[in-house]
Structure 1
Amino acid sequence: MTIKIWDRTQDANWDAIDEYIAGNFLKDDPALEAALEASKKAGLPPIHVAPLQGKLLMLLAMAIGARKILEIGTLGGYSTIWLARALPEDGRLITLDANADYAEVARANITIAGLAGRVEVRVGNALETLPQLETESAGPFDLVFIDADKPSTPQYYDWAVRLSRRGSLIVVDNVVREGAILAAQSDNPHVRGLREFYARAGADPRVSATALQTVGNKGHDGLAIVLVISEP
């Protein structure tokens, strides 16, 4: 099977539409801009969520009245800041990253944003850190955002459900990858991980899930949104 991989340059309107929407719905935000600049100076890869996606995460968390949020994949803390802003003063966000250097940048960015009191950055392999959260009874989490290494997405999903409750939302980023998810026989571990996630979530009676394709200044990709509909 030949899989067409979309080229984001095919439609010059993508960036223009993002800019138009952002011009109406986003305001200048020194803390977020500083976080992006600090991440760039530190040499972090520019794979953070887009600003409009960051606000979507915040609005989802606000809509469900989230008090506890888990993020798998911190990078420079850009999405962390968006999510933490949705929390009440006594809310808590735990974010996990395997890279200690990334975590250091994220902590500084989160502090500058005035959110250090709500956010805990934990360093380590998430598949080792997640069981610790269960042991500590850190959950259940009201919202889980998964944006880490794609081969491990099925395992992250399993843990997200396990650490959730009925009514929790699980959001998974980068679930389209320019259409590469259509390649059923792909040897790419990122594609295989995402396809396994789709299979697991689609067959899981504990959840109801959907996914949306997105285009814009981050190219052609997508988000999956999973609602936990029964107690895990």
Structure 2
Amino acid sequence: MDKDIFKKVDEYIGDLLGQEDEVLKNTIQSLDQAGMPQISVSANQGKFLQVLMALGNVKTVLELGTLGGYSTIWLARALPEDGKIITLEIDEHHAEVARRNIAKAGFSDKVKVRVGKALDLLPQMEADGEGPFDMIFVDADKPPYAEYFKHALALSRPGTLIICDNVIREGKVLDAESTDERVQGVQRFNQLLANTLQVTATILQTVGAKDYDGMAIAVVNRAN
């Protein structure tokens, strides 16, 4: 099947249900202006995250991987008045761009951008007793996805929704001999997800403007 149909259908769905306003469009444009990669979620994926937030009555979100704040804005728009987001970004330049975009969207009071390696920040959050979070969205560097997931569990409660993006890698996860660290990272994560009895989880294959990939969705189990 021609891949172009995936993009056209994505645009069709977006025009109906996931429209980008000027704030979101300008956020995407700001990445080019700042020399940043165009690797944000698609508009439809942003809307999908909002639907999941509504289903889970989400008030607190932890995001790993801010980039320019595009996904953060989608998440913030689904928060209730007393909701909050903590988003972690390793690159100070990216974080500054994100802060500007988040401010323009009107969410500086609800969103806190923290700069540093997530594998340094997350243990400190645990030690400080932060959380538990209602939802954790992981869309960061792929090699340590398994470690991110372990920390996500530590910052969760029964019912917490954990979402990890880009876990199929255009089907490259099927290659057991892959030397790509990103593929190896999500392979380790996917196997850990399958072996973690603490969650009920699945992986959805995704196609569209972002080509072919997949998104893991896990819910921390409630006590029997």
1:54 corresponds to which residue? 46
SS of structure 1 residue aligned to 2:212: strand
Runs of 5+ unmatched residues, structure 1: 1-8
Query: In the alignment, is residue 150 of structure 1 matched against residue 154 of structure 2?
Result: no
How far apart, in 1, do the equivalents of 2:2 and 2:18 lie? 26
How far apart, in 2, do the equivalents of 1:116 and 1:212 lie? 32
How far apart, in 2, do the equivalents of 1:126 and 1:22 lie? 32
Amino acid at match of 1:35: T
Alpha-carbon displacement from aligned partner over 1:102-124 (angstroms, at most 9, x marks no partner):
00000000000001110000000
How far apart, in 1, do the equivalents of 2:216 and 2:76 lie? 20
Alpha-carbon displacement from aligned partner over 1:5-34 (angstroms, at most 9, x marks no partner):
xxxx84321111111111111334111111
Q: How many residues align?
A: 223
SS of structure 1 residue aligned to 2:143: helix
How far apart, in 2, do the equivalents of 1:26 and 1:181 lie? 29
TM-score, scaled to structure 2: 0.96
1:79 corresponds to which residue? 71
After superposing the two structures, state which structure 1 stretch, 117-126 or 22-31, moved more.
22-31
Amino acid at match of 2:95: A
How far apart, in 2, do the equivalents of 1:61 and 1:80 lie? 13
| Percent identity between the two aligned chains | 47
TM-score, scaled to structure 1: 0.93
Matches within 5 A, 1:13-162: 13-162=5-154
Amino acid at match of 1:99: D
* Pairwise CA RMSD: 1.2
Query: In the alignment, is residue 192 of structure 1 matched against residue 184 of structure 2?
Result: yes
Query: In the alignment, is residue 222 of structure 1 matched against residue 210 of structure 2?
Result: no
SS of structure 2 residue aligned to 1:40: helix
2:156 corresponds to which residue? 164
8 A Cα contact 2:20 2:43, kept in partner: no
1:4 corresponds to which residue? none
SS of structure 2 residue aligned to 1:151: coil
Task: Compute the displacement of 1:41 (Å).
Answer: 0.6
